């Protein structure tokens, strides 16, 4: 791989990914995406979506880059994790509502418009992690200073896109953007509505700018292609998942007799919509990477850190403080700065590119922090399912201690330059069962042998996904690559 142009060599060099059967990355990325996105439903927004980014990134890196330098693989997965959160800034509840809200049932025009909006928002959402995962695996070196400028450019493009596509917005006077995918008076004349501000136009401009930059400026062989596969996965997954929920709302008589009459009261259709979305987008990313596996390439030479420790640790402190403030407090200037996915991702994207410790810390304790904190808040302070002191110990201190210890072990100088296989397998197992366990506690432990509630079916599905991902660790064992007549 030529670093300056990103052009692949004319002769194909056999890689371990060549021996991966198609079904493995498709199936296991689907399990990772389905479980991660379904669990996101309990935690929400940008930080909840990062669970799916982490799990899908780990699965795909494990199958396609297990022999890469550990820090290179960690950086790719960390970028995928961060980027999966960018789309969390988009409002979509009312877009979903266009397809199944009671006043709109029977309106095919509203259904089509809602599904179109979900396809656009879903495609934008998953395009970002596709691009950043490709940037980490495609063999082109992205430096911290460069990515600082790129992220600032994306923020500028997002402001332009919001101005072009998501303005004007004056609901008090019933003035809304020309292209608007939330509920408005066009669909419900005379209703008392509260239209939501949309920002999908801003993220669309930013994603287009990122694809253009990686394709034409850096000539990255993988990032723009995987971004488009992400767009496809999101554009298919979101409306397909919602079609299940819409069918349920549009056809209540179908669920009043026979088999469905007994289980319908136990089904959380919204959560199954999310799980379906995640499974489809994960499978599509897995398919896209498998089809482009010849474009996966290690970076030439070493990847020397470009952030000094005197800068790396203050950046980590600042990010964690802002993350806690935006998730657990209400501070106006913090919300303005960090309650937008691209803004929240600026420090992590840059620091992961240049830091020694950042890729590992981002994937493990930093991603776990808001999820553990929300679990603690729900169980100890809202539902009083556990006393405060043991709740802090079990749901916050323990997850953070385990993930921090794992990050420190894998980020040590003696471990950073080893093959990524052990790191990826261990981290996938840890993340899978950590988030399954936290979510199971959030669900108040709906054991299948107890009386079933609306949380039990989802918990069973997540358990099957977690078992499947454990099998994935076993499946991703060393392979022998045999190729004698291939060419680039």
Decide if 1 is inside a domain: no
**305 with 69: CB under 8 angstroms?**
no
Quote the number of domains for the chain: 1
Decide if 3 is inside a domain: no
Tens-digit pLDDT profile for the chain (488 aa)?
444 444 444 344 456 667 889 999 999 999 999 999 999 999 988 999 999 999 999 999 999 999 888 899 999 999 999 999 999 999 999 999 999 999 999 999 999 999 999 999 999 999 999 999 999 999 999 999 999 999 999 999 999 999 999 999 999 999 999 999 999 999 999 888 999 999 999 999 999 999 999 999 999 999 999 999 999 999 999 999 999 999 999 999 999 888 888 899 999 999 999 999 999 999 999 999 999 999 998 776 556 777 888 899 999 999 999 999 998 988 888 888 888 999 999 999 999 999 999 999 999 999 999 999 999 999 999 999 999 999 999 999 999 999 999 999 999 877 666 888 999 999 999 999 999 999 999 999 999 999 999 999 999 999 999 999 999 998 776 654 444 343 33
Host domain of residue 470: 19-258+268-475
Q: What is the DSSP letter of 69?
A: B
Decide if 263 is inside a domain: no
Q: What is the DSSP string of 432-476?
A: HHHHHHHHHHHTT---TTS---TTHHHHHHHHHHHHHHHHHHHHS
Dist. CA 167–CA 205, nearest whole Å: 14
DSSP-based three-state secondary structure for 219: coil
**373 with 88: CB under 8 angstroms?**
no
Decide if 9 is inside a domain: no
Decide if 187 is inside a domain: yes
Sequence length of the chain is 488
Decide if 167 is inside a domain: yes
Decide if 371 is inside a domain: yes
Decide if 400 is inside a domain: yes
């Amino acid at each position: 791989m030529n670093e300056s142009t990103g052009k692949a060599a004319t002769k194909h060099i056999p890689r371990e990914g060549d021996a991966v059967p198609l079904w493995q990355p498709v199936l296991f990325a689907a399990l990772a995406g389905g479980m991660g996105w379904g669990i996101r439903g309990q935690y929400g927004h940008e930080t909840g979506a990062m669970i799916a980014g982490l799990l899908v990134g780990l699965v795909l890196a494990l199958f396609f880059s297990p022999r890469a330098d550990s820090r290179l693989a960690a950086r790719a997965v960390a970028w995928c994790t961060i980027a999966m959160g960018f789309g969390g800034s988009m409002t979509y509840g009312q877009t979903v509502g266009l397809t199944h809200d009671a006043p709109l049932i029977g309106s095919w025009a509203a259904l089509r418009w809602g599904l179109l909006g979900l396809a656009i928002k879903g495609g934008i959402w998953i395009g970002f992690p596709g691009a950043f995962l490709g940037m980490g695996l495609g063999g082109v070196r992205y430096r911290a200073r460069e990515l600082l400028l790129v992220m600032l450019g994306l923020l500028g493009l997002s402001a332009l896109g919001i101005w072009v596509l998501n303005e004007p917005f004056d609901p008090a006077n019933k003035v809304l953007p020309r292209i608007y995918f939330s509920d408005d008076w066009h669909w419900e004349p005379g209703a008392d509505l509260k239209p939501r501000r949309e920002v999908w136009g801003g993220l669309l401009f930013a994603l287009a700018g990122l694809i253009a930059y990686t394709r034409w400026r850096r000539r990255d062989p993988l990032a723009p292609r995987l971004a488009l596969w992400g767009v496809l996965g999101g554009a298919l997954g979101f409306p397909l998942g919602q079609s299940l929920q819409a069918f349920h709302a549009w056809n209540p008589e179908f669920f009043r007799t026979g088999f469905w009459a007994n289980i319908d009261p136990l089904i959380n259709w919204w959560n199954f919509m999310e799980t379906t979305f995640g499974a489809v987008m994960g499978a599509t990313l897995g398919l896209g990477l498998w089809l482009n596996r010849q474009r996966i390439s290690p970076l030439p030479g070493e990847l020397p850190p470009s952030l000094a420790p005197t800068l790396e640790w203050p950046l980590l402190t600042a990010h964690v403080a802002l993350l806690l403030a935006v998730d657990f407090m209400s501070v106006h200037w913090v919300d303005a700065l960090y309650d937008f996915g691209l803004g929240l991702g600026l420090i992590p994207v840059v620091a992961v590119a240049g830091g020694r410790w950042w890729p590992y810390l981002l994937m493990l304790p930093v991603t776990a922090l808001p999820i553990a904190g929300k679990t603690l808040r729900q169980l100890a302070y809202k539902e009083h399912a556990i006393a405060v002191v043991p709740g802090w110990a079990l749901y916050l201190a323990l997850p953070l201690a385990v993930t921090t210890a794992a990050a420190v072990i894998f980020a040590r100088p003696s471990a950073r330059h080893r093959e990524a296989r052990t790191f990826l397998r261990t981290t996938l197992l840890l993340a899978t069962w950590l988030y399954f366990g936290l979510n199971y506690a959030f669900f108040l432990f709906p054991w299948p042998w107890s009386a079933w509630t609306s949380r039990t079916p989802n918990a069973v599905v997540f358990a099957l996904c977690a078992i499947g991902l454990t099998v994935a660790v076993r499946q991703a064992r060393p392979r022998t690559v045999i190729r004698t007549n291939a060419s680039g």
